[in-house]
Amino acid sequence: MGTAADQRFNVNLSILFTELPLLERPAAAAAAGFTAVELWWPWVDSPTPEQSELDALKKAIEEAGVQLTGLNFYAGRLPGPDRGALSLPGEESERFRANIDVAADFAQSLGTKALNALYGNRVEGVDPAEQDALALENLVLAARAADRIGAILLIEALNKPESPLYPLVSAPAAVGIVDKVNEATGLDNARFLMDLYHLSMNGEDLPSVIERYAAKTGHVQIADNPGRGAPGTGSLPLKELLDQLTKAGYEGWVGLEYKPGDKPSSEAFEWLPRAARAAR
């Protein structure tokens, strides 16, 4: 697979290089030729880890010489059964709120300009309207925290086959929440996270999604389908789709959020020339 000249790739260290301890992953990404990385919230059981843990990760990223371009807010167990926390009544929502400033401050310390907030699953016995109202309230708080550090807030659609209880399983659904958050805050810093793997799993017309929503997109993530492997392991025309995004004016990062398969992560980038891995 070739690459468009203006595309900037980063590596998601929560799905790639996971055979290594967290603090060794930034250096491994750098050794593979990348200058930028992104992360899900690394402490799945703790929205407010000890400062020493935050400092150790910050040091590992800085010493590796890579840029942390994106960070998830606390979202529960990822990978695992959870799909976010901000729309869940009770303890999980409180844990999300406790995480907001911790995540934003950590992102600010590394110059990170994008924070991703996963919506959360539907809860049996709870009115979906109640969850949606709670979600909007928490997303407004997250958007304000992102604005405080000069970052954007990302809102992502997942896929129904793998996340059947997650309500945002289409591009229009996620973009609708983006619009609601921007209307509620007046900040205009909420953006769509366009994950081409998830959208393809939902059977969406990807060229049409790009045409309609490129202007509202703040980040793109890719994996091939089927299998969620590296580009070229499935049947998605990822080069053509990324080229279309570039032509539509998208200039942001493309996150590599795929599984390395049965080989070390360092060998999962053969499709991407080494010269294309460093941000330009």
- Give me the DSSP letters along 130-199: HHHHHHHHHHHHHHHHHHHTT-EEEEE---TTT-TT-S--SHHHHHHHHHHHHHHHS---EEEEEEHHHH
Containing H/E element for 114?
strand 114-116
CATH number of residue 34's parent domain: 3.20.20.150
In a domain, 15, yes or no: yes
How sure is the predictor about 279, in pLDDT bands with cuts at 50, 70 and 90?
confident
Backbone φ and ψ of 38, nearest 5°:
-140, 165
130 is catalytic: no
- Asked if residues 143 and 187 have their Cβ atoms less than 8 Å apart, the reply is yes
Provide, rounded to the nearest whole percent, the portion of the chain with pLDDT above 70: 98
CA dist., res. 195 & res. 14, Å (int): 15
The three state secondary structure string of 212-263 is: HHHHHEEEEEECCCCCCCCCCCCCCCHHHHHHHHHHCCCCCEEEECCCCCCC
Q: 9 in helix, strand or coil? A: strand
**Per-residue pLDDT averaged across 36-61, rounded?**
98
In a domain, 280, yes or no: no
Note the pLDDT tens digit of each residue in 4-19.
Answer: 556 899 999 999 999 9
Claim: this prediction has a pTM higher than 0.85 = yes
List 19, 156, 240, 267, catalytic entry: 156
How sure is the predictor about 280, in pLDDT bands with cuts at 50, 70 and 90?
low
1, pLDDT greater than 90: no
Tokens of 251: 């200039």
In a domain, 209, yes or no: yes
pLDDT of residue 5: 53
List 38, 92, 204, 257, catalytic entry: 257
Backbone φ and ψ of 176, nearest 5°:
-60, -40
In a domain, 188, yes or no: yes
CA dist., res. 110 & res. 198, Å (int): 28
Residue pointed to by tokens 């953006």: 191
Mean pLDDT of the chain: 96
In a domain, 164, yes or no: yes
Q: What is the tally of structural domains in the chain?
A: 1
CA dist., res. 43 & res. 263, Å (int): 25
In a domain, 2, yes or no: no
How sure is the predictor about 225, in pLDDT bands with cuts at 50, 70 and 90?
very high
24 is catalytic: no
**Which sign, positive or negative, has the C-alpha torsion 218, 223, 228, 229?**
negative
Cα-based torsion angle of the residue sequence 81, 12, 47, 195 in order, rounded to the nearest 10 degrees: -60
**Per-residue pLDDT averaged across 82-111, rounded?**
97
In a domain, 277, yes or no: no
Residue ranges making up the domain that contains 39: 8-272
Of 223, 279, 277, 247, the residue nearest 33 (C-alpha): 277
In a domain, 1, yes or no: no
Of 44, 41, 189, the residue nearest 107 (C-alpha): 41
How sure is the predictor about 33, in pLDDT bands with cuts at 50, 70 and 90?
very high
